[in-house]
Amino acid sequence: MAAEDQPDPDAPAGGTDVSAQLFGKWDVTEIEYGDPSTERYINATPVAHTAGRHASKQFQKSQISIVERFINRLMQTEENTGKKQQTLNLVRDAFDIVHERTEENPVQVLVSAVENAAPREETVRLKYGGISVPKAVDVAPQRRVDQALKFIADGVQSNSFKTPTPAEEAIASQLIGAADYDVQTYAISQKEEKERVAAAAR
């Protein structure tokens, strides 16, 4: 066999195109969505760093990969603001931990975690003659995704900041817990609390 005809030893099994894989490992072409309302706002792409390509218009953020949106959300703390490469490496390591523990595609775990942590109801304040009254309202799908990412990132922050838990371990545990709908997970507990308050304000 000619040298050019020999298979590449570094090529992934099954002949999967590496360009369609996140971090060169995780296939994003067969992600399953369990919530049709948020499906169009959860975009799984193999690109984890677009350098702000979609930042010019408000609603183009839904075109960004859900992984990059999660990375951007993790950066929004005083200590980690702007440290994109560091956060990218933490998420890459966390995905390896997720795969070791669940034997599932970590991108699929992230999508399931976002769907599970997305609140369906919340409260707004309406004023009647100077009296502020809480009112339950449905949450728009795009806001549901935003809130889910916020809850998961806040859970990672609370579990890893000034604790012996490494950040990548905290990310992995939060994603797995939210994907399994574990009410002990910060993101799920926040979602349940928000919906409980909304139910009381109906």
pTM reported for the whole predicted model: 0.82
For residue 175, the enclosing domain spans 18-118+141-189
Q: Which two tokens stand for residue 175?
A: 């994603």
Asked if the structure places residue 112 within a domain, the reply is yes
Asked if the structure places residue 12 within a domain, the reply is no
Q: pLDDT by residue for the chain (202 residues), tens digit each?
A: 444 444 444 444 444 455 568 787 888 888 899 989 898 899 888 877 776 666 656 667 778 888 988 998 998 877 777 788 888 899 999 999 999 999 999 999 999 999 999 999 999 988 888 898 888 999 999 999 999 999 999 999 888 888 888 999 999 999 999 999 999 999 999 999 999 999 988 8
Count other C-beta atoms under 10 Å from residue 119's C-beta: 20
CA-angle at 97, arms to 147 and 33, nearest 5° = 45
Total domains in the fold of the chain: 1
Asked if the structure places residue 35 within a domain, the reply is yes
User: For position 87, which CATH number holds?
Assistant: 1.10.455.10
The one-letter amino acid code at 82 reads G
